[in-house]
Amino acid sequence: MKGMFFVKELSTSQLVLTGDLNHHGTLFVGKALIWLSETGFMTASMSYKNPDELVFLAMNGFKFFKPVPKGDIVNFTGKIVNLGNSSITVYVNGVSSLTGEIHVEGFITYVCIDQVTRKKKNHGLVMDDAESTEEIRIRNRALELVS
């Protein structure tokens, strides 16, 4: 069976405003997780083409490396790094557009379901070849985390 290939990656940007801050005056982790999960969902949806059949399964391996100050613009990039029969795992990272530093990264897994039966269904996506040693490293991390 021939599967369909998917969107390589998707990027979004967020301006860190006063309402996004924690008691330390830096980006609140809850707000960052919202932005990460939105980017992950959009990445999976753009590839699978039917967001109504995608449901959240898990977040894995999230790490915050450095606080994000008010006024920074964070670019979140999602990339599909692992496919099961019905699952799609997306790697998402958040990088400052002002400094180029990575602030946060992690993996989000979604499962494709039939809208009527609510049972898992095959997504029909096919992984492409990794383009760099960094991409191979991230795919291997995903395998370790979601296995």
Q: What is the DSSP string of 77-137?
A: EEEEEEE-SSEEEEEEEEEETTT--EEEEEEEEEEEB-TTT--B----B------SHHHHH
* Per-residue tokens: 57: 């399964």
Residue 102 has pLDDT above 50, yes or no: yes
Average pLDDT, the chain: 93
pLDDT, tens digit, 9 for 90 and up, residues 23-78:
999 999 999 999 999 999 999 999 998 999 999 999 999 999 999 999 999 999 99
Instruction: Report the predicted TM-score, pTM, of the whole model to 2 decimal places.
Output: 0.91
Helix, strand or coil, per DSSP, at residue 61: strand
Domain 9-146 has CATH 3.10.129.10: yes
* Per-residue tokens: 99: 């400094």
What single DSSP character describes residue 28? Answer: -
**Residues 55, 111: contact at Cβ < 8 Å?**
yes
What single DSSP character describes residue 53? Answer: G
CA distance 37 to 31: 10
The structural domains of the chain, with segments of one domain joined by +, span 9-146
* Class of residue 59 by CB neighbours under 10 A (exposed 0-12, middle 13-18, buried 19+): middle
